[in-house]
Amino acid sequence: MGIVKCVGILTSGGDAPGMNAAIRAVTRAAIYNGLQVKGIYRGYKGLITDEIVEFKSQNVSNIIQLGGTILKTARCKEFTTPEGRKVAYEAMQRHGIDALVVIGGDGSLTGARIFAQEHNVPCIGLPGTIDNDLYGTDTTIGYDTALNTILDAVDKIRDTATSHDRLFFVEVMGRDAGFLALNGAIASGAEAAIIPEFNTEVDQLEELIKSGFRKSKNSSIVLVAESELTGGAMHYAERVKNEHPQYDVRVTILGHVQRGGSPTAHDRILASRLGAAAIDAIMEDQRNVMIGIENDEIVYVPFSKAIKNDKPIKRELVNVLRTLSI
């Protein structure tokens, strides 16, 4: 017990609003518990290139409201090789870092899991991704903020869609997960969402057309999750042009605007709770778990479970969208 004296913290992979709130929480909770903190810049890359500095409480002042990540983030190919991870481990040893908190998505936690096994290093993961695609937590850091950015955009698109009686396909992020598209559609009052989870089940466009989605409306907004599985918004616009030329169709791809902005209250509170819990977990000698919140309770989820299991989309949400968009 109590063997950890110094915690390293890094953000990795895709950035997400709320990562700064998590960095602040981990740093302050660690210092509160008598631990030293080292900030590692540019994710795993900074471990390999030795971009590591000591963090005091003031290093994380005034950042809770900032989007992005003050630690920067990166994708690092070298870390996917045993040689690269060995260099990273040696840097940790040189700096006296004996536990690592990794804030990132699926890929970053996969890296943490492998690193932890290979070098017997305690690693704690925090779910940081706008995609919400990590199993074992109700939401991930950044998801709520991205959802609110989508709402803001769709509200504006609706004005022009209505004025011209147009059908809009709005492409949102999410990689292979449809949470942003589905909940974005419910919250913005869109007519439908096309999501990768249902790609193999039905032709979602045909279902949409057959449902007579324009019976009572002249304009429509359909959110499409970016994904190779769905083919994205352009793919559906092309299909409508060819198969249903009566519709006046347009496409908006929201893109990286979804990653930015000041985190919402939900994301700040989530990040603060998860960050504090990461240090609690280290103090309890937990290792190689992701911290999540399920049903408003902190949970420790083994990396293998968080990464390997697909987080299911609730059918109830799909039904709500269908029912309310008549």
Q: Provide the binding-site residues for ligand ADP, judged by CB under 6 A.
A: 12-14, 44, 75-76, 79-80, 104-108, 110-111, 114, 129
Nearer to ligand ADP, 95 or 175 (CB): 175
- SS3 label, residue 302: strand
| Smallest separation, CB 120 to ligand ADP (Å) | 16
- Comparing C-alpha atoms, which of 135, 133, 309, 312 is closest to residue 227? 133
Asked whether 111 and 80 are in contact (CB, 8 A), the reply is yes
* Sequence letter at residue 57: S
Nearer to ligand ADP, 8 or 208 (CB): 8
- SS3 label, residue 90: helix
| Smallest separation, CB 110 to ligand ADP (Å) | 4
- Comparing C-alpha atoms, which of 42, 74, 62, 25 is closest to residue 262? 62
Nearer to ligand ADP, 27 or 129 (CB): 129
Distance CA 183, CA 75 (A): 28
Nearer to ligand ADP, 127 or 186 (CB): 127
Identify the DSSP state of 250: E
Residues designated as active site? 131
Q: Which residue has the tokens 């960050």?
A: 275
Nearer to ligand ADP, 20 or 129 (CB): 129
Cα 316 to the chain's mean position, in Å?
22
Beta strands in 50-149 (DSSP E): 52-54, 99-104, 123-127
Residue nearest to ligand ADP (CB): 107
| Smallest separation, CB 80 to ligand ADP (Å) | 4
| Smallest separation, CB 40 to ligand ADP (Å) | 12
| Smallest separation, CB 311 to ligand ADP (Å) | 13
